[in-house]
């Protein structure tokens, strides 16, 4: 009798929680939509001074000053609006989309501290809201922006292709899209500041969205008859997919967000990457880290759990219940608080997973995702469970409750007026940092949409395989014709402190395919010259960089550009470098 009563009580609590979430979404959805539109120039109520189609990050001008336009944020926001438009959910958005496209066309051409349109300027992270360059010191370049802008614009281009003509898309949109795709194809493997603008290394989020952009860019180019670029985009997409695998940490069971920065790598970056590269047709593919893949679910659990004990507002919450989450556990910005968009992203990934499980009529538990599922059903074992089984029913119901829990946390710390700031206090949940953050509103809308089963068009993630041989240089260059190897000695002059060592990693397997975790340590016998001899493929284009580790922990990469050379067809070679 006690078990029956407890079960009935559990169902009752779940229904009450769902009702509360339903009520919050019904109230918050129009507020979030209005919040997005208020921050878009020229007529948004909180975006005075912004040119047409320019998205302000926030109207906040002090502590912090966010009255700028970021390429990344703007592209994510407009991707959400374009999704609504092409699905027919809001057909009034066409003018806004046209303004966005026109504004980005102008911004692409603005010379800035990262360069010109043809010399790296597309990697500039943000601009003044009058479409002029921001010239003060900043973490630049940030290479996710061009990829995200391409993805947003490609979706609109595909709609135009269905509703107008190839000639129209080629003349109006293709030149803008091609600039971004060419940048991604050429520079995807250069170091970048991450989406939090703090760490300069390689970033999982950036690599994932670059891979997506190249795939859908190749498909659009084919549809438009722009065949000259297709081979390069496809080649670099394959190389990017190859590099994407290197972020997986099999020992820790999570995706390492950045290759630098000296942090754990547990980061909202990874959940955000999963939802922004979601392709419903790809199922639970682990190669592209789809939301329901074993890797993405395992990583999500590790990420969420990292916040359970560090925020006061998470005290006393069960180990398998939703909690407030932030960017990463080591965060100290504005006191290191939970972010509304991070908490929403967890819910969205879980809702995306539920969408796919429902569509395929089953879910699979693997040794990788076992810990994720066992938090809801401790007795579950690895296997595939059809929708007709009680295991499937139990697990999907529990995941839905778990996902709703994150929306409930989001709701709990949303003020009565519905305004969404950037963060909410780790100690009492009061909104902090920039008010009316556009990305917070957009993230709420996409999470709510995912809960309702809304999906975006796919981008070609289904059925992809990782190449057996990876060429991880961003230039599009391949190897030569020889199948042998040659010995290359790498010498680098680098001064260090006690406990610090110099390592090397690069674009071929013998240089560890750009992996900082398995990078090769150099010998300091002739200090300050550090040396190593490595057998590399003969007659090949090879890129490499040196990195620093302190007591085995990565602290920094060499600055850009990558070192590169053509290996000889036979014999040996010595490379003499100085740490940059």
Q: Could you tell me which residues are annotated as the binding site for substrate? A: 138
CA angle 493, 494, 498 (to 5 degrees): 140
Cα–Cα dist 255/372, whole Å: 14
**What are the tokens at 188?**
């995807």
- Dihedral pair phi/psi, residue 404, rounded to 5°: -60, -30
327, 329, 335, 337 alpha-carbon torsion, rounded to 10° = 50
Q: Which residue, among 169, 173, 118, 120, has the nearest Cα to 145 in the 3D structure? A: 120
> Which residues carry a binding-site annotation?
138
Catalytic residue among 83, 124, 194, 541: 194
For residue 356, the SS3 value is helix
Residue spans of beta strands (DSSP E) within 213-371: 248-249, 254-255, 362-365
**What are the tokens at 350?**
């879980």
Cα–Cα dist 440/413, whole Å: 13
Residue 294 is among the residues annotated as catalytic for this protein:
no
Cα–Cα dist 424/431, whole Å: 4
Cα–Cα dist 575/562, whole Å: 14
Which residues, 6+ apart, have CB-to-CB distance to 509 below 8 Å? 469, 470
SS3 labels along 86-141 = HHCCCHHHHHHHHHHHHHHHHHHCCCECCECCCCCHHHCCEECCCCCECCCCCCCC
Cα–Cα dist 351/454, whole Å: 10
Cα–Cα dist 489/470, whole Å: 22
Check: CB of residue 358 under 8 Å from CB of residue 399: no
Cα–Cα dist 369/395, whole Å: 13
For residue 342, the SS3 value is helix
Q: In a 10 Å sphere around its CB, with 0-12 CB exposed, 13-18 middle and 19+ buried, how is residue 107 labelled?
A: buried
b/e string for 293-322 if b means 16 or more Cβ within 10 A?
bbbbbbbbbbbbbbbbeebebbeeeeebeb
**Residue 415: count of CB within 10 angstroms of its CB:** 12
For residue 352, the SS3 value is helix
Catalytic residue among 90, 197, 198, 560: 197
Which residue matches tokens 């302190």?
550
Residue 422 is among the residues annotated as catalytic for this protein:
no
Cα–Cα dist 316/308, whole Å: 9
Which residue matches tokens 């990420």?
303
H or E element, residue 535: strand 529-537
First to last CA, the chain: 71
Which residue matches tokens 């590399």?
536
> Could you give the residue numbers annotated as active site?
194, 197
């Amino acid at each position: 009798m006690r078990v029956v009563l407890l079960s009935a009580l559990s169902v009752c609590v779940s229904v009450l929680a769902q009702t509360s979430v339903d009520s919050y979404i019904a109230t918050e959805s129009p507020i979030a939509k209005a919040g997005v539109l208020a921050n878009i120039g020229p007529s948004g109520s909180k975006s005075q001074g912004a040119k047409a189609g320019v998205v302000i990050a926030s109207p906040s001008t002090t502590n912090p000053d966010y009255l700028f336009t970021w390429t990344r944020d703007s592209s994510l926001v407009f991707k959400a609006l374009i999704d609504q438009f092409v699905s027919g959910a809001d057909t009034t958005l066409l003018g806004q989309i046209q303004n966005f496209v026109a504004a980005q066309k102008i911004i692409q051409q603005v010379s800035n501290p990262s360069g010109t349109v043809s010399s790296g300027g597309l990697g500039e992270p943000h601009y003044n809201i009058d479409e002029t360059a921001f010239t003060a010191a900043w973490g630049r370049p940030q290479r996710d922006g061009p990829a995200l802008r391409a993805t947003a614009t490609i979706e609109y281009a595909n709609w135009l292709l269905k509703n107008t003509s190839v000639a129209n898309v080629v003349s109006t949109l293709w030149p803008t899209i091609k600039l971004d795709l060419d940048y991604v194809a050429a520079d995807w493997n250069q170091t970048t500041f991450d989406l939090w603008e703090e760490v300069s290394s390689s970033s999982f989020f950036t690599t994932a969205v670059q891979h997506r952009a190249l795939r859908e860019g190749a498909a659009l180019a084919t549809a438009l008859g722009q065949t000259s670029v297709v081979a390069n985009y496809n080649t670099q997409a394959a190389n990017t997919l190859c590099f994407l695998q290197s972020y997986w940490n099999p020992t820790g069971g999570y995706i390492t967000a950045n290759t630098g920065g000296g942090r754990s790598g547990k980061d909202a970056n990874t959940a955000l990457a999963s939802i922004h590269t979601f392709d419903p047709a790809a199922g639970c593919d682990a190669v592209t880290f789809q939301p329901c893949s074993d890797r993405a679910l395992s990583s999500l659990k590790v990420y969420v759990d990292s916040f359970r004990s560090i925020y006061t507002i998470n005290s006393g919450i069960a180990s398998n219940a939703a909690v407030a989450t932030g960017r990463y556990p080591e965060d100290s910005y504005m006191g290191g608080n939970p972010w509304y968009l991070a908490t929403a992203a967890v819910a969205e990934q879980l809702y995306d997973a539920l969408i796919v499980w429902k569509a395929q009529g089953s879910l699979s538990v693997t040794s990788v995702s076992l810990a994720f599922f066992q938090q809801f059903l401790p007795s579950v074992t690895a296997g595939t469970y059809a929708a007709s089984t009680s295991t499937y029913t139990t697990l999907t119901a529990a995941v839905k409750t778990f996902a709703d829990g994150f929306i409930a946390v989001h709701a709990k710390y949303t003020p009565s007026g519905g305004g969404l700031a950037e963060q909410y206090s780790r100690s009492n949940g009061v909104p902090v940092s920039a008010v009316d953050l556009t990305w917070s509103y957009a993230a709420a809308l996409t999470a709510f949409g995912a809960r309702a089963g809304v999906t975006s068009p796919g981008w070609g993630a289904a059925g992809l395989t990782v190449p057996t041989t990876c060429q991880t240089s961003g230039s599009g260059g391949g190897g030569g014709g020889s199948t042998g190897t040659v010995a290359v000695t790498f010498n680098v002059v680098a001064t260090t402190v006690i406990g610090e060592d110099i390592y090397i990693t690069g674009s071929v397997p013998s240089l560890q395919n750009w992996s900082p975790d398995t990078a090769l340590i150099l010998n300091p016998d002739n200090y300050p010259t550090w040396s190593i001899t490595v057998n590399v493929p003969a007659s090949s284009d090879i890129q490499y960089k040196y990195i620093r580790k302190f007591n085995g922990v990565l602290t920094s990469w060499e600055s850009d550009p990558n070192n590169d050379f053509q290996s000889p067809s036979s014999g040996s070679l010595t490379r003499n470098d100085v740490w940059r």
